[in-house]
Amino acid sequence: MNRSKNMMRKFNLQTFAGGTSIARTDAEALIPVQESHEIIQGVVEQSAVLQRGRRLANMTAAQYKMPVLDLLPVAYFVNGEGGSARKKLTTMAWDKKVIYAEEIAVIVPISEAVLDDADYDIWAEVRPRLVEAFGQKIDGAILFGVDKPQTWRDDVVTTASKAGATVALGADLYDSILGESGVIAKVEESSYFVNGHMADITMRAKLRGLKDTTGQPVFKSDMQSGTTYTLDGSPMNFPRNGAFDRSKALMISGDFSQLAYSIRQDITFKLFDQGIIQDPDTGDILYNLMQNDMVALRAVMRLGWEIPNPINAMVPDKTKRCPFAILTGAASVASTASVAVAYLVNDGQVFSEEDDVYTEDQLSHMEVEDLRSLADAKGYIITKEVKAEIIAEFLEQQNEE
């Protein structure tokens, strides 16, 4: 009989002997402290975001204030000599970005009869599922904003989209990723160097099928060796925890040192043999632990994240600067174009969604980020920064079609 079974029987005997509650020592006997450290490492390995991002020192409070450079110093030439040559002054400034610790939790109810009758370690079966659940929730919230807490900033995909750092998958996969207007170039335009990629698992087949002009595979040297998935020297992750949403992005590339996270509380556990468990949506009682002869294991973790994105000399405007860029599929491109059309309709401009030609008046009612999204959807290259010049560049390329 294994150790878990013996401990559970010891727990039952203590209860029958007259104990009215579970003491901390009882719970620690059932769930050794070292398991917590093993689990937190497992979550980091399971979560593509925590594995690739930059971990800061653990938080000591609910908020972590991070100073970020927000104003660069300016140097000047000194013209003239003597009393007329007065040196000018400059300054620097820092902004504070705040990481908010939010809680992730899960409850695992288990029948006492199952624990008594099991000839294997139940905890060993539960542990990988907890790791997977925590990793999926973290990646989904940070990358795509799925169920993200209100205090957390915009997710990575939304941040890149607002900065115009999106590339639609074209006929040439190589150009879409490594070309002058590709995903990597989008990151470099913000003065960052790409050091990693996260992609949907379907991108593996696309990369394996990529061939040069002679018909030779680019990513495979032979049929026997395994494929090394790197792009421009940067490693790739293909998350398999179910969090990656291919409808929003096929690949996310960027400087992942700018994805900073901090852990406020490592995973902690508490074991209950009394109490009720309710449906979080309806409030209906699902289990009454005492009445159903069950125990429930609760796991809790707290963490937060931020994108520092400090100012740099190339792109001082933080609304146009992003350390990440995304590669979208054809479905996402159509969706982007529809969003732009819907924006115009809502602004009082009436024309069909099938209308593929835009007037200067219609474009003038759009925000700059919407103009860039629409241009990306139509395959136009926008190099200007001022709205009027962007519209002129858009119309020029539209007229050439």
Of 272, 306, 340, the residue that ends a domain is 306
Which is nearest to 157 in space by CA: 329, 27, 278? 329
- Model confidence over 326-342: pLDDT tens digits? 999 854 433 444 444 44
Residue type, 106: V
Write out the residue range of the structural domain in which residue 285 sits: 3-60+99-151+261-306
pLDDT: is 81 or 288 the higher one? 288
Residue 359 — pLDDT band, cuts 50, 70, 90?
A: confident
Tell whether 300 and 347 lie within a shared domain. Answer: no
- Model confidence over 138-172: pLDDT tens digits? 999 999 999 999 999 999 999 999 999 999 998 88
Whichever domain contains 106, its CATH number is 3.30.2400.20
Tell whether 34 and 115 lie within a shared domain. Answer: yes
Overall number of domains in the chain: 2
pLDDT at 1: 47
- Between CA 301 and CA 264 the distance in angstroms is 8
Tell whether 271 and 400 lie within a shared domain. Answer: no
Would you list the DSSP string of 242-303? S---TTT-SEEEE-GGG-EEEEEEEEEEEEESSSEEE-TTT--EEEETTTTTEEEEEEEEEE
Q: Is 397 left (phi over 0), alpha (psi -120 to 50) or beta?
A: alpha
- Between CA 213 and CA 312 the distance in angstroms is 39
Tell whether 147 and 270 lie within a shared domain. Answer: yes
Tell whether 292 and 395 lie within a shared domain. Answer: no
HSE, CB side, 13 Å, CA atoms: give it for residue 329: 13
Distance, first Cα to last Cα, the chain: 76
225 part of a folded domain: no
Tell whether 288 and 371 lie within a shared domain. Answer: no
The dihedral over CA atoms of 333, 338, 343, 346, expressed in degrees to the nearest 10, equals: -170
Q: What is the pTM of this model?
A: 0.66
Lookup: tokens for 346: 């809502």
Tell whether 334 and 279 lie within a shared domain. Answer: no
Tell whether 379 and 300 lie within a shared domain. Answer: no
* Phi, psi torsion values for 392, nearest 5 degrees: -60, -40
313 part of a folded domain: no
